[in-house]
Amino acid sequence: MSKIKQLEMSKMKQLDEIAQGFADHMKEIIEDSVHWAMSEVLLGGEDYYNAKQYVINTALNKLLQEK
């Protein structure tokens, strides 16, 4: 494998690690924000969890669809 290819792979690995850290951080922020936004929703247990997941997934899909 050429040195250039090794360097590119090393940089990609570094960028992937940064992206993973960012994703972990954003997941925590999103979950906390949705929990706050749903504070007046009267659901409990599995119903609450499912509603929270729905809100998160719908919001992320809307972000991905924006141009």
User: pLDDT truncated to tens, each residue of the chain (67 aa)?
Assistant: 676 677 688 888 888 899 999 999 999 999 999 999 999 999 999 999 999 999 999 999 999 998 6
Q: Is the pTM of this model over 0.75?
A: no
Q: Is the dihedral of CA 29, 30, 35, 39 positive or negative?
A: positive
Given a contact cutoff of 8 angstroms between Cβ atoms, the answer to whether 59 and 33 are in contact is no
